[in-house]
Structure 1
């Protein structure tokens, strides 16, 4: 998995590409955590257009990151979900938690 991070004023955009699972979900966490530490209170977006798969470890990491960003006064949303990723979030009841419409 590859992770790109961009910070523009008070908006952080994290773009992971590939599969997000137990073997690499910490990479996403480290990328976002670093950006949040340098931009407290920022809104964060995970552009999931390049994610083809997520597992339960990835969901746990996303929930942890959401709490971390909120504790710093920001928000975390997911955008551009692929159908397979959307389906996992639907099944788990987490679409609304991450602000996905």
Structure 2
């Protein structure tokens, strides 16, 4: 039996800006792959900024939050930008409760 992934990512690039559109359930099962994906995008030659678009995320836990923080820290260390856009209500609540909303989410 083939296991269907509960989340997906689609990456687009324009000039030095990369957008990672995430969908589905971002949880402990997805966290390691999510970190790997975000760090790879931040490490792409010529990438000055990476944006994680969370507009289609249906579930978001502390492991997924940790992945975003790891990406944010790597961006800071490498003089690049990392931000979150379009957080769903579920995601926004987690980001606000944990106190990271203001530095992760780019104003619309």
TM-score (norm: length of structure 1): 0.90
Match 1:6 to one of 8, 12, 36: 12
Match 1:43 to one of 40, 44, 49: 49
Distance 1:82 1:6 in 2: 20
Distance 1:86 1:19 in 2: 14
Task: Give the equivalent residue in structure 2 for 1:70.
Answer: 76
For structure 2, the 5+ residue unaligned runs are: 1-6
CA deviations 1:12-46 (Å, max 9, x no partner) are 10111101111012222222222222235511110
**Counterparts in 2 of 1:1-101, with a 5 A limit?**
1-40=7-46, 42-101=48-107
RMSD: 1.5
Tell me, yes or no, if the aligned pair for 1:66 and 1:75 is still in contact at 8 Å: yes
Larger radius of gyration: 2
Which aligned runs of 4 or more in structure 1 are off by greater than 6 angstroms?
Answer: none
For structure 1, the 5+ residue unaligned runs are: none
Tell me, yes or no, if the aligned pair for 2:17 and 2:47 is still in contact at 8 Å: no
